[in-house]
Amino acid sequence: MIIRKLFKFENAHIVRGCTTRRCSENIHGHSYQVEVLLESNYLDDGQMVYDFGLTKLYIKELIDSFDHAITLWSKDDPSYIASMKSFSSRWVELPVSPSAEQFSRVIYLIVERILECTRMQNGERDVKLQSIIVHETQSGYAQSFREDAHSQMMGVILLDEIVFSDQVTAEWSDIKIWEKLLQHKVIINPLKI
């Protein structure tokens, strides 16, 4: 069975190499919608695959990190990156260009890591991240499955290459959560939500 939770954020970017100059040479924004699809062959004690309430903490917070922020590609022109960082307090830097396709891969890896670090406590069994869908516009989306997120052909994404600005991290309920997730150490207690 697959269940789906929808998240939304507003984000700005430039997509270098895009076929249209509007897209590749201009800072512009989109109202993104992100679908998190979780899958299991089992139901938990509440006869659910996974209580959506459990997504409200770190999954919601990490996806919300992109809201009202600019997303930068670490291989973009250093002077562009530096100027964006000096004039905008909310930014996220990625090792890949912020296309919808790469957003879906990045968010897949983030949510995957959160689930890996979550200790299930309500009888959830074999809950897997089936895919992430990122809608950049009303009419177009990109969907990443595990093999896409971990694909070397699409560009390796190491989680420790994803950098969140100080104003972004300051809003997290645990300012160290990204550090903990990178170290694979955190054991999240969903019952404390």
Catalytic residues: 23, 68, 136
Dihedral sign (CA 161, 62, 72, 97): positive
Alpha helices in 65-165 (DSSP H): 78-87, 100-116, 146-149
CA distance 72 to 80: 9
Reading phi first (left if > 0) and then psi (alpha if -120 to 50, else beta), residue 155 is in left
CA distance 3 to 20: 36
